[in-house]
Structure 1
């Protein structure tokens, strides 16, 4: 087993699955989570995720443990999980990554992805504190971005944040990282994976990454997505939409700099400028 899998986790996996063999390691070097495709002699095919430090394991177990209504065959099914041990097992979901494939540029991919997201989003109550919490986080990010962004840009970001109305917001069960690298293409059928960032948030949180990546200069992809999703941003939601964009853009700059990813940091700077320009 890979070194990231502890003895405790390995014992749990054997108690759940019996003997198994690793056929592919999907672990991402920048994360402290081990992601493995394993098979068993009985023909079982599973994905194992293990970490001793990442909160993503807890979030994914929480997102999957009750099942995902309307997404049968198009999202992972949780078979085993231990929050305490930091390990989970899902049934293997066939398909290849949409990212960097022809499907990433196909409007039908986005129509299907929009329809999947509409089913994934389930009501999760109203929060009077969410916007204030994200605004506080964004204030800290502005401070952390000193030296990474120009003084004028930081001043504009602070001014933009100060003008936003921090109202109560409706929450839904969001994915948290909804983009082509977390979509699978199974012979034209789109599926969604990796619920490690799932949480209750406003619905538009899941649209920020796409807006700054795949939708830029690609109106056909954006239109296809929203046609599948079935709704668009309303004027009353403009402040929380701007808040989500500002928070995620600044977060990208700070996090990318921390891990030494210069290209991703530059993309974060572009997101900040795009957000301040009104998208």
Structure 2
């Protein structure tokens, strides 16, 4: 059982200057060491989140996202940023209704409803304003940057991959460099059901620390290797709401990106005692190997 993380006293005092006395605190962190999030209940009955970012890069991405990208989702479809403090990478966020999708035991119809709304919200996010020159350049270089990371993940995974599997990863990284132009925009960066909250008012997205300009197909990788493998009907309704099908270049890129996700999972999962992530990587890599033999 994971031990609850205590809210730092300085963070509590800072939050109380904005929201008033806090009467209850709940550790809402994800199950890994660098995740630090607490739900606060103020004396007035309102709920808030205090989040301490794991790095300056994530803090910068998330605060920028809440100010310039997240509003495109619409009212109630994501938290809003009440305040932030750069010196200790702390954010104070509103609470939106709902519970994370994975724990809800949704029916088939409810699962499709969630993915339909996710498709609509992703479309809004991906089209959230014009990219400036620097963001455009970063987005256009994002697939090459992803390919560049292959050797780092291969090194970390080491003997967990056979020589043939390592070559398969390298082949997909090389192909990713050749797919050509793809649509770009702002992506969530960790777009998966654990960051989707479902309630009677609909779907909301949370956790924008990886939000950045990129090829928008990068936001579909985790869904492609988890939800949509087992539930193609969810993929269908997602894209109906998204408003367009993937281009040929995006479909090629998505396949390559799933290979890179696999090696990343097989590097990170065992090192962090996370069997779910490890299983995801192994399953994807086994599927790619089978398809490569056809």
TM-score, structure 2 normalization: 0.84
SS at match of 1:224: helix
The number of residue pairs the alignment matches comes to: 278
Contact kept? 1:130, 1:169, Cα under 8 Å: no
Q: 1:260 to 1:24 in 2, by over 3 A?
A: same
Query: C-alpha distance in 2, partners of 1:243/1:71?
Result: 32
Report Cα offsets for 1:216-255 as digits up to 9, x if no partner: 1312111111111111211133443233222222111111
* Structure 2 stretches lacking a partner, 5+ long: none
Cα drift, residue 28 of structure 1: 2.0
Deviates most, 28-37 or 73-82 = 28-37
* Structure 1 stretches lacking a partner, 5+ long: none
Query: C-alpha distance in 1, partners of 2:43/2:266?
Result: 46
Are 1:236 and 2:249 an aligned pair?
A: yes
Q: What is the Cα-based RMSD across aligned positions, in Å?
A: 2.4
SS at match of 1:30: coil
Instruction: Indicate the residue corresponding to 1:98 in structure 2.
Output: 101
- Written as runs of structure 1 = structure 2, the 5 A alignment for 1:44-123 is 44-51=46-53, 53=55, 55-66=57-68, 67-103=70-106, 105=108, 106-122=111-127, 123=130
Match of 1:154 among 156, 166, 174: 166
SS at match of 2:160: coil
Instruction: Indicate the residue corresponding to 2:37 in structure 1.
Output: 35
SS at match of 1:216: helix
TM-score, structure 1 normalization: 0.89
Match of 2:235 among 222, 242, 246: 222
Query: C-alpha distance in 2, partners of 1:52/1:63?
Result: 16
Query: C-alpha distance in 2, partners of 1:183/1:13?
Result: 25
